[in-house]
Structure 1
Amino acid sequence: MLSSAQPAFILHSRAYRESSALVDFLTPQGRLRAVLRGARGKAGTLARPFVPVEVEFRGRGELKNVGRLDSAGIPCWLLGDALFSGLYLNELLIRLLPAEDPHPILFEHYSATLAALAAGRPLEPLLRAFEWRLLDELGYGFALAEDLSGQPIAPDGLYRLQPDAGLEPVAQLQPGLFHGAELLAMADADWSAPGALAAAKRLMRQALAPHLGGRPLVSRELFMTLKEPPRD
């Protein structure tokens, strides 16, 4: 069965058998895995991350075949930290997004995020916004402006995250907590507020950790390795 053409991005590809590639696509209909035949030829030049394509899939099973693959726009050229950020987003989607689970809004947000990364916009707000959208789309989101009981977050309060549930007020200072003012700044996407970006990074790591199954993210480890100063 050949599907109608749909927009897509390549999340990851690897060699498969003699001249084919096994490719993970992000489409409005979700994450799809398919075999791309003749990947060493013209089709292979399109099987790269961050290139908008139009693709037709053949087959009914979970592993499909690419019937047609064409360019569908200008590639997002990512360099340096923006490249690692894009690889990080791709790995999150591969690890967390169920196969063939439609998320058209997430697809549009991913496309817009790639364009913003390519345009050189500040990385951290873009990454935090995408992580939040991904969690929300998967049903793991939680309120930032109110606690577990529905009470408004107090600017001078202390809170801890209960994964998949929300923010719980605590009375005493302990590791891993969040100040209410930081949470309210996150809710308003006010990244000029002191400590808001750093707190958002900690919060998203805590929120994502249970869904990553304890396995480290390869893109994050690679980024940290390359950022280490050279040893004498």
Structure 2
Amino acid sequence: MLALSQPAYVLHSRAYRESSALVDLLTPQGRLRAVLRGARGKAGTLARPFIPIEVELRGRGELKNIGRLEAAGIPNLLMGEALYSGLYLNELLIRLLPAQDPYPAIFEHYALTVLALTQGRALEPLLRAFEWRLLDELGYGFALDHDCHGQPVTAGRLYRLQVDSGLEPVEQFQPGVFQGGDLLAMAKADWTAPGALSAAKRLMRQALAPHLGGRPLVSRELFMTLKEPSRD
């Protein structure tokens, strides 16, 4: 069988047997799992998150073998909050992306987002844009400027998210609702509007929760630990 060579990023790796690693990869052909033999050598130093690589995969089954692994660009060095943000993106992809289903647009958007994290761009707009693109590509997206009845969202009204149908107008304030003005700002990616970013964070959490199940995100817990003040 001919080996398939393609660009990739490592989402996660762990030790496997004596000297190998079990690697979760993001490629244009989807999320793939493969065995990297001799992981303690040069290839192992490249099998780390955020490094653009070229991999040659062999095998017909769900678990592939990495026949070749080479650097395909400059490593993206993430530190501090940018690093935790990158780990969050990786965990989202592992949890939500179906194995071996091609999503080339997600791969491209991931590569651009990681590069933007490296460049020190503002984190919150990058994370919200990635979450939104991921939901949309997976078929879970919804309109931000129209409600579930097809009517335009109005700045002065309140809305709640119905995951299966989209935004539903409500007449009275209740926990978890959104201002129409914030929703319209999100639709235009206008993050200068007061409250738009915090509302977008709440909205994305509500939209993602049913697809993540009840298990918390490890990266989110690590990020909250990082932001807790020292208690020396």
TM category (shorter chain) comes to over 0.9
CA RMSD in angstroms, aligned pairs only = 0.7
Give 5+ residue unaligned stretches, structure 2. none
> What pairs with 1:77-96 in structure 2 (closer than 5 Å)?
77-96=77-96
Give me the whole-angstrom Cα distance separating, in 2, the residues matched to 1:177 and 1:168.
10
Structure 2 distance, partners of 1:3, 1:183, is 46
1:108 matched to 2:108: yes
Deviation at 1:115, TM superposition (A): 0.6
What displacement does 1:164 show? 3.1
> CA separation in 1, counterparts of 2:192 and 2:219?
27
How far apart, in 1, do the equivalents of 2:44 and 2:231 lie? 38
Q: Which residue of 1 aligns with 2:14?
A: 14
What residue number does 2:215 align with? 215
Distance 2:139 2:61 in 1: 26
Q: Could you say what secondary structure the match of 1:190 adopts?
A: coil
SS in 2 for 1:48: coil
Q: Any stretches of 5+ residues in structure 1 without a counterpart?
A: none
Which residue does the alignment assign to 1:151? Answer: 151
Q: What letter is aligned with 1:147?
A: D
Q: Figure out how many residues of one structure are paired with residues of the other and give that number.
A: 232
- Is the contact made by 2:4 and 2:58 (CA closer than 8 Å) also made in structure 1? no
Helix, strand or coil at the partner of 2:4: coil
- Within 1, Cα distance between the matches of 2:50 and 2:87? 9
Q: Given that residues 2 and 57 in structure 1 are in contact (C-alpha distance below 8 angstroms), is that contact kept between their aligned partners in structure 2?
A: no
Tell me the distance in 1 between the aligned counterparts of 2:196 and 2:15: 42
Q: Would you say 1:25 and 2:25 are equivalent positions?
A: yes
Distance 1:76 1:164 in 2: 37
Give the aligned residue type for 2:165.
A
Measured in 2, the distance between the counterparts of 1:126 and 1:3 equals: 35
Aligned match of 1:54: 54
What is aligned with 1:98?
98
Q: Give the aligned residue type for 1:124.
A: E
The alpha carbon displacement at 1:76 in A equals: 0.7
- 1:126 partner letter: L
**In structure 2, what is the equivalent of residue 123 of structure 1?**
123
SS class of match (1:12): strand
Distance in 1 separating the partners of 2:223 and 2:195: 23
- Opposite residue 39 of structure 2, the aligned amino acid is A
- Please tell me whether the aligned partners of residues 141 and 164 of structure 1 are also in contact (alpha carbons under 8 angstroms): no
Q: Deviations over 1:8-56 (max 9, x none)?
A: 0000000000000000000000000000000011110000000000001
Tell me whether 1:45 sits opposite 2:45 in the alignment: yes
Per the normalisation by structure 1, the TM-score is 0.99
Q: Counterparts of 1:223 and 1:180 in 2: how far apart (Å)?
A: 30
- Contact 1:35–1:66 (CA<8 Å) still a contact in 2? yes
| Equivalent in the alignment of 2:191 | 191
User: In structure 2, what is the Cα distance between the partners aligned to 1:63 and 1:56?
Assistant: 13
> In structure 1, what is the Cα distance between the partners aligned to 2:231 and 2:195?
31
Q: Return structure 1 stretches of 4+ with deviation > 2 angstroms.
A: 1-4
| 1:230 positional shift | 2.0
Amino acid at match of 1:34: A
What does the per-residue CA deviation read over 1:105-141, in whole Å, with 9 as the maximum and x for residues that have no partner? Answer: 1100000000100000000000000000000010000
Amino acid in structure 2 at the alignment position of 1:189: A
Query: Aligned runs of 1:67-78 on 2, under 5 Å?
Result: 67-78=67-78
Tell me the residue number matched to 2:225: 225
Which residue is equivalent to 1:175? 175
Q: Work out the CA distance in 2 between the residues paired with 1:173 and 1:224.
A: 29
